[in-house]
């Protein structure tokens, strides 16, 4: 089994899910007392969020690249950024290490294509929904990507930062997200990408009339598969 390296803390609420899922999936596949070989480096999200708001993406990339180098030095064989939004600096992080970075949007797109879908709605932070780094990565796999309107984007973003990142899960916010999903489906979405790791704490398959694609779980599934690949 190869060692999975995780750069997390963005937020730690979802990084805890990454850790749990990796261990559960390894146990499911190998049985017994098996658990995942992994290294998790967790950053101070307040510092990262400040850089996001200030638009200092280069500096944020440097910060995560430094953490990734430490994870590689610790013995990781492959790398995960446990965040959708910070995949904006994925190329910068990959350039800083010699181990492969498993890109979250690629693993998500593969699942969407495997389901036979061509058009998806995207939920995430405002950065993920409004900037092109994530949408274009999905589109590079032949997908058409729809995003909510401005008011819905603002509400989705607010719930992530003001509630989910703080461990707060409110029924009212779940209802709001269901409404956003319904409007995306009405606009033509055949599936919905939960393109923020915290969103899976709030909504899932039962909240959508079309398939949802939980990026955290898909990311971890791909990492575990790679870690257990005997020829990897």
- CA angle, residues 155, 157, 159, in degrees to nearest 5: 70
- Which of 107, 108, 165, 196 does the annotation list as catalytic? 196
Q: What pLDDT digit, counting tens, does each position of 182-220 carry?
A: 999 999 999 999 999 899 999 999 999 999 999 999 999
Q: Which two tokens stand for residue 197?
A: 């790791």
Interatomic CA distance for residues 129 and 135, integer angstroms? 7
pLDDT at position 230 is: 72
Whole-angstrom Cα Rg for the chain: 17
Assign 9 a pLDDT band (cuts: 50, 70, 90). very high
In three state form, how does the secondary structure of 6-24 look? EEECCCHHHHHHHHHHHHH
Answer whether residue 231 shows pLDDT above 80.
no
Give the number of C-alpha atoms closer than 13 A to the C-alpha of residue 67, restricted to the C-beta side.
24
Q: List beta partners, residue 145.
A: 120
| Catalytic residue flag (residue 82) | no
Q: Which pLDDT band holds residue 232 (cuts at 50, 70, 90)? A: low
d(CA 27, CA 33) in angstroms, rounded, equals 7
| The pLDDT of residue 143 is above 80 | yes
The pairing of beta strand 38-42 with beta strand 4-8: parallel
Residue 165 known to be catalytic: no
pLDDT, mean of residues 2-10 = 96
**Beta-bridge partners for 78:** 4
Backbone φ and ψ for 213, nearest 5 degrees, come out as -120, 100
What domains can be seen in the chain, in order of their start residue?
4-103+217-228 (3.40.50.1860), 105-214 (3.40.50.1860)
């Amino acid at each position: 089994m190869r060692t999975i390296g995780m750069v997390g803390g963005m937020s730690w609420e979802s990084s805890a899910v990454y850790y749990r899922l990796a261990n559960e999936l390894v146990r499911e596949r190998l049985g017994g007392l098996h658990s995942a070989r992994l290294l998790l480096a967790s950053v101070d999200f307040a510092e990262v969020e400040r850089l996001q708001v200030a638009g200092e993406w280069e500096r944020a990339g440097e910060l995560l690249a430094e953490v990734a180098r430490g994870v590689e030095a610790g013995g990781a064989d492959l790398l995960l950024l446990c965040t959708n939004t910070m995949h904006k600096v994925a190329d910068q992080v990959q350039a800083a290490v010699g181990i492969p970075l498993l890109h979250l949007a690629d693993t998500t797109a593969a699942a969407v294509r495997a389901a036979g879908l061509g058009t998806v709605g995207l939920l995430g932070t405002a950065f993920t929904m409004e900037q092109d780094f994530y949408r274009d990565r999905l589109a590079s796999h032949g997908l058409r990507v729809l995003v909510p309107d401005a008011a819905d984007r603002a509400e989705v973003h607010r719930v992530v930062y003001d509630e989910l990142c703080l461990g707060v899960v409110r029924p009212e916010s779940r209802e709001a997200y269901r409404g956003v999903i319904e409007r995306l489906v009405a606009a033509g979405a055949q599936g919905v990408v939960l393109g923020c790791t915290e969103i899976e704490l709030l909504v899932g398959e039962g909240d959508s009339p079309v398939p949802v694609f939980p990026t955290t779980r898909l990311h971890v599934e791909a990492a575990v598969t790679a870690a257990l690949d005997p020829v990897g």
